[in-house]
Chain A
Amino acid sequence: MGKIVAVTGNEAVANALRQADPDVCSLYPITPQTDIVQRFSSFVANGLVKTELINAESEHSAMSAAIGAAAAGGRVITATSSQGMALMWEMLHIASGMNLPIIMPLVNRALSAPLNIHGDHSDGMGARDTGWVQLWSESAQEAYDNTIMAFRVGEHMDIRLPVMVCMDGFIVSHSIARMEYLEDGEVKKFIGPYVPKNPLLDIEHPKSFGPLILTDLYHEYKRLQHEIMGRVKNVVLQVSDEFARLSGRKYGLFESYRLEDAEIALVILNSAAGTSKDVVDELRGKGIKAGLLKPRLFRPFPYEEVGQALKHLKAVCVMDRADSFGGYGPMFMEISSAMYQADGGQRPRLINKIYGLGGRDFMPHDARGVLLELVEIAKGAPVRTVKEYIGVRE
């Protein structure tokens, strides 16, 4: 049985990493992730883990060291935020292209300029095409659970992929919430010992990582990468089922909240989904058939399942805490694609709101305003603008 505690999201994630007892942690601190690596460093200093700690001189180096250590044959972690991940960008592709299951909490933070340290999803969304698996988390509990599951997902022999676990900077990383830890022994058993694949340190079997592959085979290697990404969904479901048996907490590819009989819904990630669920309940109390879909596995994106879950709705607003300047919000693009491909051609009317950039508060009245607009659209009112900023001073 687990232990109920009041902790910050960062503390929860640091403890998940401690329980996983990785072989190597290469790190570079950045707000709001700093607290995770600071706590993890003290676990190393106090002998609570056997991890080799590498204080890198930049995030680019932290990810490079992680890649080297993972290729050598170790269980490897790092963690970052915002600019830190932007600096890792080149190496993110290399970690996934080499099929190295590095586990990285990403404490979501806005990108410069202007400089801002608060939570939005620009960093994670910017890593959409890096070939990493992405799990998103609403709360400290979900971030903790996802971090533990990430080891099983990434290290699964069918995929061997790096995984980033996203949670909102400050809103979750620095807020104290009630959550439940699993016992160290349970987590150890759940994650299991690390089984390397093609470790460089197996000197009886020499091998090379990172060869030059030109026009003759590169296309084939990318086809293989696409295939491997396609296997992730099943692995996530399988690991989540096993985790539910251990913890009693059920996770799917996404969370459906009062969606089955809904007519209107929000699609919204991470902490703002919590606020929105309260508003969904409030509107349900007034007879409005509102619901919510909260994506969890964003890469690979479960298009068919999301399409099925939303196709019966009359109107849906996709909420983005990041912008693709000159495009729709990144989540909106995914949902639009899912709905266009959905069976039967039946689909809701879709709108896109950009909210909460740079940590701007997302309040119940924001969710209420959007849901009430959806009520009108569901009745046939015209869509004013497809993509619109909300909570902005006009």
Chain B
Amino acid sequence: MKKWTELEPGAVVLEAGSSARFKTGSWRTFKPRWVPENCIQCLMCWLYCPDMAVKVVDGKMTGFDYDYCKGCGVCARECPGKQGKKAIVMEPEGK
């Protein structure tokens, strides 16, 4: 832990990308589950996720990074899915 004499005034974080070290996944009470058969790869989930927890590989949705997903459910709400069936469903954590 840093001493006060070692801190940057104004609490400015000078290191880029350091939020990767701050895992927000432990707050979750609901978790999103991806249902690939209903996915149309529109990437709305990726666009809306506030924690960059939608894992996209080669331009395709591949699932969630649960170290960072805080379970807000925004992705599930925005997901259009296929034929009225959501490709993301929220389930209670630990189920």
**Residues of B contacting A225 in the complex (Cβ-Cβ under 8 angstroms):** 9
Q: CA A223 – CA B15 in complex, angstroms?
A: 22
- Residue from the list A160, A207, A208 in contact with B9, Cβ < 8 A: A160
- Residue from the list B4, B12, B13, B18 in contact with A220, Cβ < 8 A: B4
Residue with the highest number of chain B CB atoms closer than 10 Å, among A99, A160, A205, A208: A208
Q: CA A210 – CA B13 in complex, angstroms?
A: 8
**Residues of A contacting B14 in the complex (Cβ-Cβ under 8 angstroms):** 198, 205, 207
What does the 1/0 interface line of A210-232 toward B look like (CB < 8 Å)? 11010011001101110110000
A103 contacts the other chain (Cβ, under 8 Å)? Answer: no
- Residue from the list A206, A213, A216 in contact with B11, Cβ < 8 A: A213
- Residue from the list B1, B4, B16 in contact with A221, Cβ < 8 A: B4
The answer to whether B16 and A211 have CB atoms under 8 Å apart is no
Q: How many A-B residue pairs have CB under 8 A?
A: 55
- Residue from the list B1, B10, B16 in contact with A209, Cβ < 8 A: B10
B57 contacts the other chain (Cβ, under 8 Å)? Answer: no
A391 contacts the other chain (Cβ, under 8 Å)? Answer: no
Which A161-198 residues sit within 8 Å CB-CB of chain B? 198
A290 contacts the other chain (Cβ, under 8 Å)? Answer: no
Among residues of A, the one whose C-beta sits closest to the C-beta of B15 is: A207
- Residue from the list A97, A206, A207, A220 in contact with B3, Cβ < 8 A: A220
**Residues of B contacting A374 in the complex (Cβ-Cβ under 8 angstroms):** none
- Residue from the list B4, B7, B10 in contact with A100, Cβ < 8 A: B10
**Residues of B contacting A99 in the complex (Cβ-Cβ under 8 angstroms):** 9-10, 12
B2 contacts the other chain (Cβ, under 8 Å)? Answer: yes
- Given A217-B1, A227-B4: A210 touches B11 (CB 8 Å cut-off): yes
The answer to whether B9 and A224 have CB atoms under 8 Å apart is yes
Q: CA A358 – CA B13 in complex, angstroms?
A: 44
Among residues of A, the one whose C-beta sits closest to the C-beta of B19 is: A208
What does the 1/0 interface line of A50-72 toward B look like (CB < 8 Å)? 00000000000000000000000
A49 contacts the other chain (Cβ, under 8 Å)? Answer: no
Q: CA A210 – CA B12 in complex, angstroms?
A: 7
Residue with the highest number of chain A CB atoms closer than 10 Å, among B4, B10, B18, B19: B10
**Residues of B contacting A205 in the complex (Cβ-Cβ under 8 angstroms):** 14, 16
Q: CA A209 – CA B8 in complex, angstroms?
A: 11
What does the 1/0 interface line of B1-40 toward A look like (CB < 8 Å)? 1111101111111111111000000000000000000000
**Residues of A contacting B4 in the complex (Cβ-Cβ under 8 angstroms):** 220-221, 223-224, 227
A201 to chain B, nearest CB (A): 14
**Residues of A contacting B1 in the complex (Cβ-Cβ under 8 angstroms):** 216-217
- Given A216-B1, A217-B2, A221-B4: A207 touches B13 (CB 8 Å cut-off): yes
List of 10 A-B pairs having minimum Cβ-Cβ separation, nearest first: A99-B10, A206-B16, A220-B4, A223-B4, A208-B13, A98-B10, A99-B9, A198-B12, A224-B4, A207-B14
A and B contact pairs by CB, cutoff 8 A, 12 listed: A98-B12, A99-B10, A160-B9, A198-B14, A207-B13, A208-B12, A213-B11, A216-B1, A220-B3, A220-B4, A224-B9, A227-B4
- Chain B residues with a Cβ under 8 A of chain A: 1-5, 7-19
